[in-house]
Amino acid sequence: MKKPSFRRILQEFSSFLLFFLVVAFVVTCSMLLFLEVLATEMGLVFNSENITDAAKITFLNVLIITVLFKTVDFIRRKIMVDRPVKTITVTAKKIMNGDFSARVKPMNKAGFEGFDQIGKAINSMAEELSSVETLRTDFIANVSHEMKTPLAVMQNYGTLLQTPNLTEEKRIEYAKTITDASRRLADMMTNILKLNRLENQQIYPNPTTFDLGEQLCESLLQYEGTWERKNIEIDTDIAEGVQVSADAELLSLVWNNLFSNAFKFTEDGGKVTLRLTADETYATVKVTDTGCGMSAEVGAHIFEKFYQGDTSHATQGNGLGLPLVKRVVDIMQGEIGVESAIGVGTTFTVKIRRTEYGLEETR
């Protein structure tokens, strides 16, 4: 700490000395020139002794004035520059060390407006970093928790497979359970990677013109085995010839997730409805099920990562499907909403632009 202080003192002295010498030289020369001109005009004669005395007095006055102004400037900088800079620097170092609760105190005084703006900007940055850190911590905790369940299942059933004299039926059952758990783990990792790439804008829409009704039918038919097994009634009302210019691959993620949820939450003998309508600007898709439904509180958080309102179905998902859907719809500058009632069912409404306008702006 001593070396920086000595250097600073040396710098201050050098700055003062240079400033003083320049001002003293200029003022002294100007004063002597003024006196000589004045004497010439008045017909007076100055000898060398008088000129020397005048130069000494002028130099001394300049010295006193320079010291006075330098002292005032030093005090001013200490109060109006060094003190707020130190306050901002200390807070910035705390934030750099991970203390995102640190804040720069308001400087509501005349002359401190610039530093106050810097302080507010740093406070805003600290709030954003605090939010990001909270999300990161929650994300890691959620991923760790979600990974533990399938890993524990795989470990337990793997141990059971080593049981002597295990029947063929049990062996197949345990192997299927391990396969399902590993598939769930792989799906979660895939969704995490997709969601991360979407949030970091590493996936850019590749718009093509296609028939949205045909894409919806193709996505729905992938679940034919599920609705037949659960004896679920399918009701479709799809407008014909609805052409959209969008990224077909990204949109397929939306429909697959919505259909998957609809069939997952609909009990045996229930009903799933698909509606497609369109106007000049938007194509509107509605997916309705007669499942368990959800409360308004759950609906408000349904698009958050790892959020699962219905814990009875937690083993069938990982809480990443709907956040992925929301991100895709946002990228395409569309809209998505949910209406639900407990014991009645749920309807997801997705509105997709029919032109490339929304996609072009995201590039």
**Do 217 and 355 reside in the same domain of the chain?**
yes
Question: Would the pLDDT of 57 be above 60?
Answer: yes
Mean pLDDT, rounded, of the chain: 77
Instruction: State how far the Cα of 21 lies from the Cα of 37, in Å rounded to an integer.
Output: 24
Is residue 82 domain-shared with residue 215, that is, in the same domain? no
Residue 314: pLDDT over 70: no
Q: Tell whether 191 is covered by a domain.
A: no
Beta-bridged to residue 282, according to DSSP, are: 353
Closest by Cα among 200, 237, 205 to 220: 237
| Domain extent for 249 | 209-361
**DSSP strands (E only) in the chain:** 208-211, 233-238, 243-246, 271-278, 282-289, 335-341, 345-353
Query: Which of 99, 124, 145 is the last residue in one of the domains?
Result: 99
Q: Do 276 and 285 touch, CB atoms closer than 8 A?
A: yes
Query: 303 CB contacts (<8 Å, ≥6 apart)?
Result: 322, 323, 325, 326, 336
Q: Per the structure block, which two tokens stand in for 265?
A: 């939450």
Q: CB 79: neighbour CB atoms within 10 A?
A: 13
Let me know whether 213 and 355 are in one domain.
yes
Considering the domain boundaries, does residue 78 fall inside one? Answer: yes
* pLDDT value at residue 363: 34
Count Cα atoms within 13 angstroms, Cβ side, for 283: 26
Question: Is 90 exceeded by the pLDDT of residue 64?
Answer: no
The residue out of 74, 99, 124 marking a domain boundary is 99
Q: Domain check: are 94 and 214 in the same one? A: no
Tell me the pLDDT band of 49, cut-offs 50, 70 and 90.
low
Q: Is the pLDDT of residue 249 over 70?
A: yes
- Determine, yes or no, domain membership for 283: yes
CATH number, position 273: 3.30.565.10
Q: Tell me whether residue 180 is in a domain.
A: no
* Distance (Å, whole) CA 160 – CA 177: 11
Q: Higher model confidence: residue 270 or residue 324?
A: 270
Residues in Cβ contact with 118 at an 8 Å cutoff, skipping those fewer than 6 apart? 88, 104
- What whole-number percentage of the chain has pLDDT above 90? 11
User: Which pLDDT tens digit goes with each residue over 15-31?
Assistant: 767 777 777 777 767 76
Radius of gyration in angstroms for the set of CA atoms belonging to the chain, rounded to a whole number: 38
Last residue of a domain, one of 70, 99, 128: 99
For residues 87 and 217, membership in a common domain is answered with no
Of 305, 285, 307, 286, residue with least CA distance to 297:
307
Give Cα 171 to chain centroid, integer Å: 47
- CA separation for the pair 164, 161 (Å, rounded): 8
Number of domains the chain contains: 2
